[in-house]
Structure 1
Amino acid sequence: MSVTIKDIAKEANVSYSTVSKALNSSPLVKEVTKQKILRVAKEMGYEPNLAAKQLVRKKTEVVGLIWPTIERIVLATLVTNISKAFASTRYSMILSVDSTETAMESFKKFQVDGMIVFAESENMVPEENIPLVAYGVSGKSEVTYPIIDANHEQAMDTAVQYLYDLGHRNIAYVGLMNTDDALQNEKVEGYQKVIQKMGLTELNIATNGLDWFDGYLAVDDVLHLDKRPTAIIGSSYDISSGILRALQEKGFGVPDDISLISYDNIPQMETTEIPMTCIGVPVDELAEEIVQTIIERIESEEKNVIKKLNPSLTERESAGPVPEEDVTSS
């Protein structure tokens, strides 16, 4: 038989209302009394009736997250960090790998207080009476909910400038192009702008997707460019990991022969065969911002706010000065 608040009140020799206040951390209960009640509740194996609590408060304190894919390591890492960020709040997170439409219907049934979506295209998700926050590109669409948007253009500017300062003039970009994924398009446009600004030649290699194997296969095209790059910018961790492996298999030293910088900023980049220099918003910072924003959206009903986060460059071992023979030939 389950333990009730009345059972705790009897055991602790206090009133029912005092127990209720103590379990809800009310400042109206003295600290010594609250600690006594909490100790008695724990000893008796009390489990709060969450359904009843939610009914009274008209909130579930649950946020639903719609995960677009289980295949990309970066998104998996971000979701893990979002879950960790929720651990320090009173909210819990539930996850759906279904389509956006199916997931939203499921979350409505669970009566979640809010939802997080990964909006990777410019066709933004419609908000339907549930507070919503999107991680993606702000784009041109009119939306009524906050968007967390990393500054991809600035990231590419920083990456190219870093390589330029190391002496590189033939800098290739490898990634998904001409896609409905606005996030990827913004990276490409950022690369093109800074290359044109510096008077360099664009060396674009389009991949078929965003996975490890896409980066691996792209290296053949990179090496057959009229100007062989001395540096490569990979558009994601997965793609850059594939590039790194292919270069090593073909006998190219990284960074002795070809430097490599990857977009994304996750801890796994430190443990690749050659620790990767990377550019992007650190994943823990990104997760904290997403969680803070959805809670603000739930509790204050903050409307259309675009938060553009600034990337940071983490220097490791995959990028170095341009090889001497390339300096003399450039």
Structure 2
Amino acid sequence: MGVTIKDIAKIAGVSYSTVSKALNNSPLVKPTTKNHILKLAKEMGYEPNFAAQRLVSKQTKIIGLIWPTIERVVLSTLVTNISNEIRKTPYSMILSVESIPNSLETFKSFQVDGVILFDDHIDISIEPNNIPILIYGVAEKESHHSPIVDANHKQAMLEAITYLHCELGHTKIAYIGDFSKTDRMQMEKLNGFKKAMDNYDLSIDTHFLVDTNGLDWYDGYHSVNKLLEGSNRPTAIVGGSYDISGGIIRGIKEKKLQIPDDISIISYDNIPQMANMEIPLTSIGVPVNQLAAEIVQSMIELIENKTLNPNVRKMIPKINIRQSCGRINKIAD
């Protein structure tokens, strides 16, 4: 027979309930007592009985995450950070790369306590169910009945244009991104760019709005080549994502243009990899570690309180200034 909580309590000289609280990381147990109990549990080879815990608490301490794609670096980085954040809690995480309906059915069979859903497509339909669902997406969709963590794409675009125009003097600014009308997050970026340009009374040359028709490296590479074919060249480019911007940088360099002396570039997304690109990339977006922490914290709050207040949590984008942007007077010279 395995080691039980009562065995640990006897050795530790504390009550059964104290051991239970310590193993569940309760703040009601003094840190010194908690550390002593955890050390004893490890030394004695204690293995938690999840089935028994579930019967008592009515919880599995499992969170399901529906992963939209394994191909994009940014989403892989975000999922990794979410996993790291969950490991800091009493919860565990399981992933599904199936469709949303199939994933939800799978999670029901596992009796997960809650589901994190990446909502990037307008045609997503979620049938009512009794599993708490937290959405990472865009808050403006009126049909959502679940709480939302919103990375605030429009604010990010405003910050990008404010930096390029007000601090660096750029007026000829292009946007390269995916204009897919079925992808809510990408449409938020495009609309945010247009609104930010209008906010500063900056005209947008139609040639400066380039649809990548995708979110891969090659999509950015091919699109910037189209942008640079004409004689009317922008002095700055806003890239719609990390992967797209990697292709933009390669395309600019192949045209024998210098970054930022000939063209500045700022990219949406805020992951550590952007500092290590061939041109360290100025970026705008919610830092991925902060986004992951908010998603996990909100998910657990929703599970344990059965509600989330406020129901929509908009994050604050942050700009990371690196070597890919320069002042317009330097470019003109």
Q: CA deviation at 1:144?
A: 2.1
Mapped to 1, the partners of 2:298 and 2:77 lie a distance apart of 19
Q: CA deviation at 1:132?
A: 0.6
Number of aligned residue pairs: 324
- Aligned with 1:24: secondary structure? helix
Mapped to 2, the partners of 1:121 and 1:257 lie a distance apart of 36
Q: Do 2:216 and 2:243's aligned partners in 1 also have CA atoms closer than 8 Å?
A: yes
Q: CA deviation at 1:96?
A: 1.2
Q: Do 1:139 and 1:182's aligned partners in 2 also have CA atoms closer than 8 Å?
A: no
Which of the numbers 194, 201, 204 marks the counterpart of 1:201?
Answer: 204
Question: How do 1:1-330 residues align onto structure 2 when only pairs under 5 Å count?
Answer: 2-5=2-5, 12=11, 18-19=15-16, 21-25=18-22, 40-124=40-124, 125-165=126-166, 166-197=168-199, 198-202=201-205, 203-225=208-230, 227-302=232-307, 305-322=311-328, 324=330, 326=332
**CA deviation profile, 1:238-257 (whole Å, cap 9, x unmatched):** 10011111211221111111
Mapped to 2, the partners of 1:228 and 1:27 lie a distance apart of 59
Q: Do 2:282 and 2:324's aligned partners in 1 also have CA atoms closer than 8 Å?
A: yes
Q: Which amino acid aligns with 1:169?
A: T
Higher mean alpha-carbon deviation, 83-92 vs 318-327, is at 318-327
Normalization by structure 1: what TM-score?
0.89
Q: Do 1:59 and 1:113's aligned partners in 2 also have CA atoms closer than 8 Å?
A: yes
Mapped to 1, the partners of 2:27 and 2:147 lie a distance apart of 34
- Aligned with 1:193: secondary structure? helix
Q: CA deviation at 1:88?
A: 2.0
Q: If you compute each CA radius of gyration, which structure gives the higher value, 1 or 2?
A: 1
Mapped to 1, the partners of 2:31 and 2:296 lie a distance apart of 30
Mapped to 1, the partners of 2:12 and 2:88 lie a distance apart of 33
Q: CA deviation at 1:14?
A: 6.5
Q: Do 1:230 and 1:323's aligned partners in 2 also have CA atoms closer than 8 Å?
A: no
Mapped to 2, the partners of 1:13 and 1:177 lie a distance apart of 62
Mapped to 2, the partners of 1:37 and 1:152 lie a distance apart of 46
% identity of equivalent residues:
52
Q: CA RMSD in A?
A: 2.6
Q: Which amino acid aligns with 2:151?
A: A
**CA deviation profile, 1:278-309 (whole Å, cap 9, x unmatched):** 11111111111111111111111115811111
Q: Which amino acid aligns with 1:22?
A: V
Q: Which runs of 5+ in 2 are unaligned?
A: none
Q: Do 1:119 and 1:135's aligned partners in 2 also have CA atoms closer than 8 Å?
A: yes
Mapped to 1, the partners of 2:36 and 2:109 lie a distance apart of 38
Q: Which amino acid aligns with 1:2?
A: G
Q: Do 2:156 and 2:284's aligned partners in 1 also have CA atoms closer than 8 Å?
A: yes
Q: Which runs of 5+ in 1 are unaligned?
A: none
